[in-house]
Chain A
């Protein structure tokens, strides 16, 4: 408002610095509150205008209120103010308690979860270690399996449970026609021949397509000769895989081979030796490999390589 606010009002000092300086004087009919900056206006009107209006009205002759009434009313209102302030204070501090309580709860939860996380991380690390160890043992076991497979393959080849092929010697034993009992080829003749071949370095032997194994027998049952329990008839073909350069020569350096040759001469049956570039020997029936009574001797460190009965 345009009127002065008394000796203590801030109007005096602020007026010259306002935008309404000399040279830009506005028309006189514009109220001063329109021209005043907002901050100055607020500062000027910090005292409610109504006090001054009421004072002016009283000065003009309005009836004065009872002397003690203002104080009582003011006291009641100020009491209300105190009540409000105290309530706000109590409320704010109570809320602060609740806020800090929930904050502490959250912090406790965070720490709890951190502990859980740490435990899980430990577990992950432990499981990773275990994984690595297990992987290593898997690798070891795979290596052992491969090695055992190799050993098994070698053993199976040697013992006759796998079909093999390679160069070798074929011995064909023929009886003379209408051979009498003495001229017939006996099981022991074939056994001598086979033993001679083994001694001469044969690696696999088959008689009439019957592969010989560590458990094979050549024996006479009645009239027929049986190999692996199956009867065979003349002519007898004995095939032996081995080094063709030396096999035939060595055969007749062995006692068995010499005895076989002697028997052939004595009893009158004949035999032919042929070096063959590619012999194919079948596998023995797997039933022969089944052991019913024999068990691997457990204190033998080489037990699992057993079955080397030759």
Chain B
């Protein structure tokens, strides 16, 4: 419940403040969001599995975001930014789908 409240507050803050992203970081924000989404769904699944750990969650969240942005940054420097972000999105998407499938099985026992 408190986590949902945190999400709500974060979204409202983002919408109200709508902070300006520095131009250099703009291309990496979407991929960072997808990576964060993966970490969040992973944490939710761990919570439902009963093995949630806040330290692991924070570390996985931060490392996901930083590594995803770093990979895309490196790709941009090497001239393969588009392809690398596609690869990152594919991997994260598969993880998100399978985590969501596990969560669904927990919630609906299906």
Shortest CB distance A70–B (Å): 4
Task: Assess whether B79 is interfacial by the CB under 8 Å rule.
Answer: no
The answer to whether A8 touches B105, judged by C-beta atoms less than 8 angstroms apart, is: yes
CA distance in complex: A54, B45 (Å):
15
CA distance in complex: A77, B60 (Å):
11
List the A side residues contacting B91 at CB < 8 Å. Answer: 42
The answer to whether A82 touches B49, judged by C-beta atoms less than 8 angstroms apart, is: no
B99's partner among A46, A54, A58, A84 (CB-CB below 8 A) is: A46
The B contact surface, by secondary structure, is: helix
CA distance in complex: A76, B59 (Å):
13
The answer to whether A46 touches B15, judged by C-beta atoms less than 8 angstroms apart, is: no
Task: Assess whether A48 is interfacial by the CB under 8 Å rule.
Answer: yes
CA distance in complex: A46, B101 (Å):
11
Task: Assess whether B11 is interfacial by the CB under 8 Å rule.
Answer: yes
B1-17 contact mask (Cβ, 8 Å, vs A): 1 or 0 = 01111111111111100
List the B side residues contacting A80 at CB < 8 Å. Answer: 10, 36, 61
List the B side residues contacting A278 at CB < 8 Å. Answer: none
Q: Which of B12, B29, B33, B51 neighbours the largest number of chain A CB atoms within 10 Å of its CB? A: B51
List the A side residues contacting B10 at CB < 8 Å. Answer: 78-86
CA distance in complex: A77, B2 (Å):
11
B6's partner among A39, A43, A74 (CB-CB below 8 A) is: A74
The answer to whether B54 touches A69, judged by C-beta atoms less than 8 angstroms apart, is: yes
Task: Assess whether A178 is interfacial by the CB under 8 Å rule.
Answer: no
B97-110 contact mask (Cβ, 8 Å, vs A): 1 or 0 = 01101100110000
- With A46-B99, A73-B58, A86-B13 as known contacts, state yes or no: A79 contacts B53, CB within 8 Å: no
The answer to whether B102 touches A81, judged by C-beta atoms less than 8 angstroms apart, is: no
The answer to whether A51 touches B52, judged by C-beta atoms less than 8 angstroms apart, is: yes
The answer to whether A88 touches B33, judged by C-beta atoms less than 8 angstroms apart, is: yes
The answer to whether A87 touches B14, judged by C-beta atoms less than 8 angstroms apart, is: yes
The answer to whether B98 touches A82, judged by C-beta atoms less than 8 angstroms apart, is: no
The answer to whether B33 touches A85, judged by C-beta atoms less than 8 angstroms apart, is: yes
Chain A interface (Cβ < 8 Å from any Cβ of B): 6, 8-10, 39, 42-43, 45-48, 50-52, 54-55, 58, 65, 69-92
In the complex, 29 of the A-B residue pairs with CB atoms within 8 angstroms, ordered by the A residue number, are: A42-B91, A43-B95, A46-B102, A47-B42, A47-B46, A47-B49, A48-B42, A51-B56, A71-B54, A73-B54, A74-B6, A74-B43, A77-B6, A78-B3, A78-B6, A78-B40, A81-B7, A81-B10, A81-B33, A82-B6, A82-B8, A82-B10, A83-B11, A84-B14, A84-B36, A86-B15, A88-B29, A88-B33, A92-B30
Chain B interface (Cβ < 8 Å from any Cβ of A): 2-15, 18-19, 21, 26, 29-30, 32-33, 36-37, 39-40, 42-43, 45-46, 49-61, 65, 91, 94-96, 98-99, 101-102, 105-106
